[in-house]
Structure 1
Amino acid sequence: MHVLTLTTNADAPFLTEQMRALERRGVTFSTLSVSGTVDGETSRSPLEYLKFFPSVLREAGNGYDLIHAHYGLTAPMALAQVRKPVVLSLWGSDIYGPVEPVSRACAPLCDELVVMSEAMRTYMGRDCTVIPDGVDLEKFRPAPQDRAREAVDWDGDAHHVLFPYTPEREVKNYPRARRIVNAVNGLVDRPVRLHTVYDVAHDEVPNYMNAADALLLTSHSEGSPNSVKEAMACNLPVVAVAVGDVRERLEDVAPSCVGTSDEALIDGLRDVLERGDRSNGREAAREISVDRTADRWVDVYEQVAYGNY
């Protein structure tokens, strides 16, 4: 099977890992990405998306079995060609934000809609398939904390809390994370350091997961946050707000905490740091390993392209 992938971020680790797992199952890909740079302060212009249409139309005729549009803003380009079936993956921010009208308008026109969590399916209010991004259990695995701290140059005499996003991404709500950590800092026996880790090689992220004492997630909205699943795979305790599928993922994971108020998050983080235990998250993460989710993607592709499971 040969798939044309449309994306706004061809370098997204979860996307490249998913594609590698599918390639091991005989799927081949060609990828087109919208041009332009996106960061915490810059977004693409409408002109850059308009320029993407001709590229997709030209490429779509080159013998693909289907078109896979990742993120709602690539769906119009996928649908502009009428020869091949279209799978649309929604990532979260494309329905919990200003892009939502585009995603909602395109979803009924696609041959299959895939979302990352039951919460997203409920929010969309239509039939679709739920497949969370998978986690690479070979890359993300437990390792000795002292060795990991040496690798990332963290002090061994402090508690370390990981916030794996840039503070500039408003949806991640860094001010709340800072507020939670500041409150806990005076309640435990050692200083508490909040580390914002971003723009590092994905292969280095497991070192930070294993060096930390907790991962803190305070986002306004999420689909199925990869950082939570990666932390689980490393047995790193997670303290998080109830967004996306976080509550479902952490249901049987201890120690961990899912809260809605600052008070609940403060109490949860304090408890995790005082206990000093790693979690049992890796066992729960096996359910959403990249290999298991790849098998589900093969089923979707075969259904869309050939009409059978």
Structure 2
Amino acid sequence: MKILTFSTLFPNTEKPGHGIFVETRLRHLVASGQVESRVVAPIGWFPSKHPRFGDYARLAKVPKSEVRHGLQVEHPRFPVIPKVGMNVAPFLLAQAARPRIARLLDEGYDFDLIDAHYFYPDGVAAAMLARWFNKPLVITARGSDITLLPQYALPRRMITWAAKRADAVITVCNALREEVIALGVPGERVTSLRNGVDLQLFRPGERTPNTSFTLLTVGHLVPVKAQELIIAALPLLPDARLVVAGDGPNRGMLESLARELKVETRVQFLGAVPQAQLREHYNNADALVLASSREGWANVLLESMACGTPVVASRVYGTPEVVAAPEAGVLMRERSPQGVADAVDALRKNYPERAATRRYAEGFSWDDTSAGQLRLFGEVLARRAAHPDAQGVVVGSER
């Protein structure tokens, strides 16, 4: 089976952690030996590589083509237009990718279907491309593309159009599946396939008991991750310290908050940490804390559990599906500093054996996810073969 994976959420030489969950799922699928893939991961165009332009300049340095873990990745450029860009992004994205995809076909890579990730603008653009190239389409919903963007009228209409046009929709948790169905997509067309965890990369290691209870939080320092709730909980947890792995625009605010609350000596900011190095931090922590306001399927939760470290997490979207047993960790009763502190205290009172936490994570390998994809893709292709003129036909079921 030949597929074309399409998404702006894909790692590159300048941002190796960007959209790594898309790359990881694809790597495991290809490792099955039953799928070949080429990746088209468009990059926003910017005219200068000068360092003063920050992330824009970094993206300008991304090569037009690269190979990652044996996967051929194309990076066509699409224009980013301030203020109006949100509404026209799907069209610009599709127009930019179309020539590169046509070239892949000319070179002999006649793919069987388009495997798109993130509904807006990526999934909408993929629906346009599927029409142009007359290919079946599967779109994966991953989080804010369904929980946030449909709040805007035009994106909602385009997301709904793309979802109904797709031959199948995948969601990374059942909570997102219900959100997609609420948009008017028939339930029999929406399949829930959760993310897995790399049990070889994330595994228990040697650790020295901490002198103070060590909390770890991993993620971009952006409003949706709400690391400020964890820092604000520290005065309520006088014998705990916090390690923050990640970087982003909220870092200055978080550092100021730590000073204001006089807990700066108990907060360590690591900056961005490569995924391969996260294992050490998971192993050294006593608990991972995630206080997000939105999460589709938070991979960091399973990564921590796979290292034997239980978690404390907010009760949002797919997270209760991840933290579903005492050995996994504790869900907050409320998203507040007090809610964080109470959940940490509850975990400490009934702290699970780290081996039990690891065993729980072992139930989330990528094997089931890859098998589900293969099954669904096969159904899509069989249905299209039987009805070659059909688009957006009903395939698949909840799994």
Q: Same fold (TM over 0.5)?
A: yes
Find the aligned partners of 1:178 and 1:41 in 2 and give their Cα distance.
27
Once the two structures are superposed, residues 56-109 of structure 1 have per-residue CA deviations (whole angstroms, 9 ceiling, x without a partner) of: 323445211000111112122211132100000011011121356143332111
The answer to whether 1:293 aligns with 2:293 is: no
Which residue in 2 is equivalent to 1:268? 343
Once the two structures are superposed, the pairs formed by residues 170-185 of structure 1 within 5 Å of their partners are: 170-184=223-237
The answer to whether 1:130 aligns with 2:203 is: no
Which residue in 2 is equivalent to 1:13? 20
> Structure 2 regions of 5+ residues with no counterpart?
12-18, 46-53, 60-79, 248-271, 384-394
Once the two structures are superposed, residues 118-170 of structure 1 have per-residue CA deviations (whole angstroms, 9 ceiling, x without a partner) of: 11111222421001111111111111223xx9xxxxxx433221110132x11
Once the two structures are superposed, residues 219-269 of structure 1 have per-residue CA deviations (whole angstroms, 9 ceiling, x without a partner) of: 111111111111121121111111122222222232621123244431220
1:132–1:224 CA contact under 8 A, matched in 2: yes
Once the two structures are superposed, the pairs formed by residues 110-129 of structure 1 within 5 Å of their partners are: 110-125=166-181, 126=185, 127=187, 128-129=190-191
Shift of 1:174: 1.6
Paired residue total:
295
Which residue in 2 is equivalent to 1:166? 220
**Equivalent residue in structure 2 for 1:67, among 108, 114, 124:** 114
What SS class does the counterpart of residue 145 from structure 2 fall into? coil
2:333–2:343 CA contact under 8 A, matched in 1: no
Which residue in 2 is equivalent to 1:24? 31
Find the aligned partners of 1:182 and 1:29 in 2 and give their Cα distance.
50
Aligned Cα root-mean-square deviation (Å) = 2.8
Distance change in 2, residues 1:57/1:250 (3 Å): same
**Equivalent residue in structure 2 for 1:94, among 145, 151, 156:** 145
Find the aligned partners of 2:376 and 2:282 in 1 and give their Cα distance.
32
Q: Which has the bigger relative contact order, CA under 8 A and spacing at least 6?
A: 1
**Equivalent residue in structure 2 for 1:79, among 117, 124, 127:** 127
Find the aligned partners of 1:89 and 1:232 in 2 and give their Cα distance.
25
Find the aligned partners of 2:159 and 2:206 in 1 and give their Cα distance.
43
2:138–2:169 CA contact under 8 A, matched in 1: yes
Identity %: 23
**Equivalent residue in structure 2 for 1:196, among 245, 250, 253:** 245
Q: What's the TM-score, normalizing by structure 1?
A: 0.85
Residue type at the aligned position of 2:26? M
Residue type at the aligned position of 1:56? A
Residue type at the aligned position of 1:68? D
Residue type at the aligned position of 1:74? D
> Structure 1 regions of 5+ residues with no counterpart?
150-155
Residue type at the aligned position of 1:122? E
What SS class does the counterpart of residue 149 from structure 2 fall into? coil
Which residue in 2 is equivalent to 1:210? 283
Find the aligned partners of 1:193 and 1:17 in 2 and give their Cα distance.
28
Which residue in 1 is equivalent to 2:360? 284
2:229–2:340 CA contact under 8 A, matched in 1: no
Shift of 1:34: 2.4
Worse overlay, 263-272 or 170-179: 263-272
Find the aligned partners of 2:350 and 2:224 in 1 and give their Cα distance.
30
Q: What's the TM-score, normalizing by structure 2?
A: 0.67
Find the aligned partners of 1:85 and 1:119 in 2 and give their Cα distance.
25
Residue type at the aligned position of 1:304? V
1:225–1:244 CA contact under 8 A, matched in 2: no
Residue type at the aligned position of 1:234? C
Once the two structures are superposed, residues 259-308 of structure 1 have per-residue CA deviations (whole angstroms, 9 ceiling, x without a partner) of: 23244431220243466654423222233211221111111211112339
Distance change in 2, residues 1:104/1:183 (3 Å): farther
The answer to whether 1:227 aligns with 2:276 is: no
Which residue in 1 is equivalent to 2:48? none
